[in-house]
Structure 1
Amino acid sequence: MITTAVPTSLGHAVPGNRWDLLRDIDAPRPLVSVVVPYYEQQRSLDLVLAALEQQTYRAFEVIVADDGSATAPLVRSALDVTVVSQEDRGFRAAAARNLGARAASGDVLCFLDADTVPEPGYVQALVRLPSLVPDALTVGRRRHADLTALGRLPGPDDEILEEPRWLIDAYRGSRDLLDADHRSYRHVISAVMCCTAAFFEEIGGFDESFDGYGGEDWELANRAYLAGALIAHVPDAVAWHDGPDWAGRPGEQRTEQKNAEALSLLPLVTDPAARTHGVRYAVPDLTAVVHTDGHSAASLLATVGSVLAQGDVTVWVDGTDAADLVASWRTDDPRIRLGVPGDDDVRRSRFGLDIVGPVVLAPNAARTLEASTPAQGPGLVRSAVPGGSLEWWSWRAVRRARRWADALDRTPQQALADLFGITDAPADEVGIAAGPHQPDLSW
């Protein structure tokens, strides 16, 4: 496993989420596109554009993405500003940001809400990591003040509104997301977010099914993390939101709105902490493949059943006799499928599992294997029993390795070892055992 930043034709490769290894490396200065979603916020837009004129980083354009305002935004700025618009079909910030990204010509996309005014060093600080690592995703620091009353950025004597304590604690506890894990997507805010245009396009941009307030940034950040993104909080990239944080605003409908956000996220984000209601969704947390070689119908049932018992999982049964063996069970369980999953079937799963032979998992095996593959690695755990084997991997690690393999002049498996590590574990440590060819199914 590499321990330093490795320069390549793609950018600098680092292990795990170790963006700290890039601190002393000079960053290039690519063209940046600042994408500003907008709806009937002319005064706020004026403040944002005036603040962008004061940026220390000068190689940028501005794309104002109008979400169907009755009156088109006026551009009162000497900056290079393009205005694009979509029809008014309700709150569609996700679609507006995608519209702005499509109109952008920069190599790096810097998203900034129209009611969020940046300090002079905002762009320079936020784009640094994406300019060095093409699959980096950075989030700035969003502070709060009554900018409408001030008409400018706050000074040292002005009243400052409270920042969300849970975010402050999350950034401090994770060392600004250096110690990111599978729940860190919750700490990425689209109002102050940055990534390369190529990575944004690769992961599919914002999900435009989000047509209400909130949720689209968590969904995109989760998908980016699962795609192998290097994520970082950049506290020096400060932008000021006009007014308090959403949780601090008055109104009895907050719970209803947060529930609507949660209902939109649950089918798409496989975070076990979210899926506590006993409902099954089409996208599983774990995608497993069980091969039929060496199996009888009974032993295959025992193996597949032990995998299904792990929880939020879909099992694909692969082999020339898979259909016949599964048909002999006379089951209609939608969690069991034939063949191997395609990219769309696994793009939101956190983990993958491949089993050869009559391997039986203990009830807590998935939890043990997950603990064996933390965010920093290893990315793959292998184990074997007589007549069978198991491989468990983090999709995040596998996808990052695939992206960097050619640039590192390595195979995807070698790149996985370089970036996250591969480990072999004894069967008893990960909770697997060899099952008989003909287990006794009677009762």
Structure 2
Amino acid sequence: MTTTPPWGTGVPGNRWDLAPPGAPERTVSVVVTHFEQQEALDRTLAALRRQTRSVHEVVVADDGSRRAPGVPAGVGLVRQADRGFRAAAARNLGVAASTGEVVVMLDADTTPEPGFVERIVALPEALPEALVVGRRRHADLSGTGPEDPVEVVAPPRELPEPAWLRTAYADTGDLLRADATSHRFVISAVLACSRWWYDELGGFDETFTAYGGEDWELAHRAWTAGGLLAHCPDAVAWHDGPDAGARESDPLGRLVETTAVADRTSAPGTTWRGLLRGPADLVVTLDPAIDDTAAVVTVDSLLAALPRAAVRLGPRHRELVGADPRVLPAGSDVAASARAHLVVRRGLVGDAEAWTALVAGLDGVSGSRSLDGGHAELHDLRLQRRAARWDRAGLAPEGPPLASRLRPVDPDVTLAAWLGGWA
């Protein structure tokens, strides 16, 4: 992900509120995902004709309906075979058929108010790394016609919005204060980003073949790549029917969805807590000059505290540590899923709280911070990836030194003493 952004600017942290005003308008493509919902599709396409902001093109992406949906002249249609729930692949198919500089995602049963497109594309037009989620409200739209203005007929028929999502947006200032867990608040049914960013990320993960999760995974990838997350509460679209959480429970379906997300994300809150599955959030590189005993003790101490970390070691240290799937060759690429990179210059030990506090030293502003004494350096890979794209070191500045309760490994310590607990 090193392609130069095609327009706009970068901002520090997640400060999308610093977007410069008056950004030039870009061409907009709207991709509408559909499956066996002709009536809902008619309503949504009619609403797109009433937008206050011109739409360059509309593409309907059909996920294997038995019969091709009817679309008006001028609306594109792409289809894929029915091989289960493949919304991720359908969206990618739709985007591939589009030509706009900004892409807006809607589901066929999610009908936008007139100002939806104008409001949701404003940030990507200024900040091309922004992934913007609109506000999805819910209503029972049965009995309404496709030409009925949704902003008029939906409010009297409104159904509850998920309270947890409203709370999340309120607590984070519409994601202005987003963190590594905030991908959980992104919904693909009301989503927008630049086409450049969509392509940089590789689009949706097409290995999702059951309901749900593909939007969280995309947002997680966007965040770790150095993207911005934003919620635009004024970009409103109405979903016909209740939120999925209010529908009949499907325990097996929820288990499949949660497992799929856990296997593909590295952030707390969605990834595994103990199982050695899924990508690492933290990559650690040990200096090959560290003493053999100190290296083994450091790795054991670290992985006892942070069992999901990946550790890169030189040949000698790898031989001493032995076979462990979390131990990688020193020259291995740092995984794109990793949010932090800890470079250890001297053997260090500490309890779980000390190691966890060290990683928590990422403040979302500093690109790197050194430990007191220069024993290690902590790098915020998310910010450094963004800085590299813009070729602006100031987007990932060096921060103040980190105080830590980790302590250097005593030169006289033995492995037996460490394992026995008297080191």
TM-score of the two chains, using structure 2 as the length reference: 0.91
Matched, 1:333 2:324: yes
Report the Cα distance in structure 2 between the residues aligned to 1:326 and 1:348, rounded to whole angstroms: 23
Q: For residue 97 of structure 2, what is the amino acid of its counterpart?
A: A
SS in 1 for 2:357: helix
CA distance in 2, matches of 1:276, 1:203: 23
1:310 maps onto 2:305 in alignment: yes
- Unaligned runs of at least 5 residues, structure 1: 1-7
Partner residue in 1 for 2:366: 378
State the one-letter code of the partner of 2:48. L
CA-CA distance at 1:284 after TM superposition = 1.4
Aligned-pair identity in percent equals 42
Paired residue total = 408
Alignment pair present for 1:70 and 2:66: yes
- Quick one: which amino acid aligns to residue 326 of structure 1? R
* 1:183-242 residue CA offsets vs partner (Å, 9 max, x unmatched): 111111000000111111111110111101100000101110111111110011100001
Task: Look up the equivalent residue of 2:376 and give its one-letter code.
Answer: L
CA distance in 2, matches of 1:282, 1:140: 29
Give the CA deviation at 1:252.
3.9
Q: Distance in 2 between matches of 1:287 and 1:325?
A: 16
Q: Which residues in structure 2 correspond to 1:9-408 (within 5 Å)? A: 10-22=7-19, 25-76=21-72, 80-151=74-145, 152=148, 153-155=150-152, 158-249=156-247, 251-253=248-250, 255-275=251-271, 278-293=274-289, 295-311=290-306, 312-317=308-313, 322-329=314-321, 331-343=322-334, 346-375=335-364, 377-385=365-373, 389-405=375-391
- Residue in 2 that maps onto 1:435: 409
5+ residue gaps, structure 2, are 418-423
The offset of 1:277, in angstroms, is 5.0
What is the distance in 1 between the residues matched to 2:249 and 2:191? 29
Are the aligned partners of 2:261 and 2:271 in contact in 1 as well (CA < 8 Å)?
A: no
Tell me the distance in 2 between the aligned counterparts of 1:162 and 1:326.
55
Q: Distance in 1 between matches of 2:201 and 2:6?
A: 21
TM-score, normalised to structure 1's length? 0.87
3-state DSSP class of the match of 1:353? strand
Once the two structures are TM-superposed, the CA of residue 285 in structure 1 deviates from its matched residue by 2.0
Give CA deviations for 1:383-404 in whole Å, capped at 9, x if unaligned: 253xx63111222212111111
Distance 1:148 1:174, change over 3 A: same
- Once residues 438 and 102 of structure 1 are traced to their aligned partners in structure 2, the CA distance between those partners, rounded to angstroms, is 61
Q: 1:136·1:231 contact (CA, 8 Å) conserved in 2?
A: yes
Q: How big is each residue's C-alpha offset from its partner over 1:8-47, in whole Å with a ceiling of 9 and x where there is no partner?
A: 974122211111122x611211111101111111111111
Give the residue type in structure 1 aligned to 2:399. Answer: T
**Which residue type is aligned with residue 96 of structure 1?**
A
Residue 154 of structure 1 deviates from its aligned partner by 5.0
| Cα drift, residue 352 of structure 1 | 1.4
Secondary structure of the structure 1 residue equivalent to 2:375 = strand
User: Which amino acid is 1:306 matched to?
Assistant: S
Contact 2:372 2:404 in 1 (8 A): no
> Against the structure 1 CA distance between its residues 34 and 431, is the aligned structure 2 distance closer, same or farther, given a 3 Å change threshold?
same
The answer to whether the 8 A contact 1:383-1:424 is kept is no
Give per-residue Cα distances to partners, 1:391-437, cap 9 Å, x unaligned. 112222121111111xxxx4xxxx2xx225422325xx223332244
Give the match for residue 3 of structure 1.
none
Match of 1:43, as an amino acid? E
Alpha-carbon distance in 2 for matches of 1:63, 1:433: 58
CA distance in 1, matches of 2:206, 2:217: 11
2: CA distance, partners of 1:363 / 1:48: 52
Counterpart position of 1:4 = none
Residues 183, 219 of structure 2: 8 Å contact kept: yes
Q: Tell me the distance in 1 between the aligned counterparts of 2:178 and 2:316.
A: 44
| SS at structure 2 position matched to 1:423 | coil
Q: Is the 8 A contact 1:189 1:218 kept in 2?
A: yes
Tell me how far apart the structure 2 counterparts of residues 29 and 275 of structure 1 sit (CA, whole Å).
Answer: 38
Q: 1:424 aligns with which of 380, 396, 400?
A: 400
Contact 1:30 1:59 (C-alpha < 8 Å) held by counterparts: no
CA distance in 2, matches of 1:314, 1:162: 43
- Aligned equivalents of 1:144, 1:316: Cα separation in 2: 48
Shift of 1:282: 4.4
Give 1:45's aligned amino acid.
L
Distance in 1, matches of 2:273 and 2:318, equals: 29
Is the 8 Å Cα contact of residues 280 and 310 (structure 2) preserved in structure 1?
yes
Helix, strand or coil: the match of 2:280?
coil
Q: 1:284-336 CA deviation, whole Å, 9 max, x = no partner?
A: 1211111212x23212112222222232211011xxxx32343244x222211
Change (3 A) 1:135 1:45: same
The answer to whether the 8 Å contact 1:298/1:438 transfers is: no
Secondary structure at 2:371 match in 1: strand
Contact kept, 8 Å, 1:310 with 1:363, in 2: the verdict is yes
Identify if the C-alpha distance between structure 1 residues 252 and 169 changes in structure 2 by more than 3 Å, giving closer, same or farther: closer
